[in-house]
Amino acid sequence: MVNQMPPDVKRFKVSLTSLFLFSAGGCLIGCILGFLVLPMFGVHLDWLMAWRIVNAALSPILLVWVISTPLLYVLITSTPVGFSADGIYAYSTFGFRRYIRWAEISKVRKHAVLNLKVLGIYSKVDGKVTRLPLYQAHKKEFINEIRKFAPPNSPVLKFLN
């Protein structure tokens, strides 16, 4: 099975905005949950001390956030996805390049973590999962490309909204 994406296949890369919002939302949810969960375990919060900790930690957290988002983007843009008349070029859960033919798709499941939506495309042949991120930079072109190549009865089509 061919895993390399041919040069004539249009490549799609994920959206930096989605990744940025994901990391910001995760950071915010983590901070809020931290302040809500700690009192449940009997930890008394001195609000003045908590304010000092937040002020002291804010700069390093923002620095890590600002540095990690572009690094994550570089990592993910080096893994584009593409479509052909034969199938889908994407990646496994662990980032290994995967190719699945349209006829080999047994089922499709949509997974979401905060604002990041990913299709899990299961193979009839080997049962392996190919991950197709839906948070693309050029969403309309991405969806049009799938509709252009996917067979009419493909289970991938019902998840394109």
Residue spans per domain, the chain: 16-77, 79-159
79-159 CATH pick, 2.40.340, 1.10.10, 3.30.1490, 2.30.29: 2.30.29
Strands 116-123 and 87-91 turn out to be unpaired
Q: Read off the tokens for 3.
A: 């895993």
pLDDT surpassing 80 at residue 78 = no
What is the predicted pLDDT for the residue at 51? 80
> pLDDT tens for residues 119-147?
999 999 988 999 999 988 889 999 999 99
Q: What is the pTM of this model?
A: 0.72
- Residue 83 or residue 30, greater confidence: 83
pLDDT surpassing 70 at residue 2 = no
> pLDDT tens for residues 86-109?
999 998 888 888 999 999 999 999
